[in-house]
Amino acid sequence: MDKLKKFSRILVAIDGSPQSMEAAEHGVSMAKKDNADLVVISVIHTPASVLTYTTEKNFREFLKKSKEDINTWFEKIRNRAAEAGLSIRTETVEEIYSIPGAIIKFAEQEKADIIVIGGTGRSGFKKFLLGSVSGDVVRYARCPVLVVK
């Protein structure tokens, strides 16, 4: 039987949910095993309609709070990666259209070998109404996707 392919560039997408942080844990383990580059992203989703119906001050406060939360998540993952002897790159992506689209586009730009993502995120019940981010990433990504439950 052929050996399984080693990954050289792993992309983990997080939203701060327990499942996404577990996905990051898997990403760290995979990167250590394969001596791969690890890139962790988080997407700040701001629908265009929100930009129309909010004040600039409220929007700036929303962005600031979102970035603070994301930096807290990134710091936890950086610490875990450092314990494993890895350095990682983190990126925050601002998106007004599609979270899955932003993840897939980023993966393509980075030439990721695999995307690692949590099976459910912070959206809770909304995922049943709008479709899940992980489901859309699995459906449309051009590279393999590992969904962590």
Give pLDDT, residue 146: 96
| CATH code of 74's domain | 3.40.50.620
pLDDT at 51: 73
More confident: 20 or 130: 20
Q: Where in the sequence is the domain holding 117, given as residue range(s)?
A: 31-148
pLDDT tens digits along 77-89: 999 999 999 999 9
- The answer as to whether 139 is a domain residue is yes
- Reported as a single tens digit per residue, the pLDDT across 30-73 is 999 999 999 999 999 987 777 778 888 988 998 999 999 999 99
Residue 12 falls within a domain, yes or no? no
Domain contains 5: no
The answer as to whether 9 is a domain residue is: no
Question: Domain for residue 17, yes or no?
Answer: no
In a domain, 52, yes or no: yes
Indicate the pTM of the whole model. 0.89
* Spatial CB neighbours of 148, under 8 Å, sequence gap ≥ 6: 19, 22, 23, 26, 116, 117, 118, 119
DSSP string, 78-104: HHHHHHTT---EEEEEEESS-HHHHHH
Output the furthest CA–CA distance in the chain (Å, rounded).
Answer: 60
| 3-state DSSP assignment of residue 144 | coil
Separation CA 78–CA 90 (nearest Å) = 9
- Report if residue 76 sits inside a domain: yes
Does 16 or 52 have the greater pLDDT score?
16
Q: Are 120 and 22 in contact (CB under 8 A)?
A: no
Asked if the structure places residue 46 within a domain, the reply is yes
| Three-state secondary structure call for residue 60 | helix
Distances, alpha carbon 31 to alpha carbons 17, 53, 128, in Å: 21, 42, 32
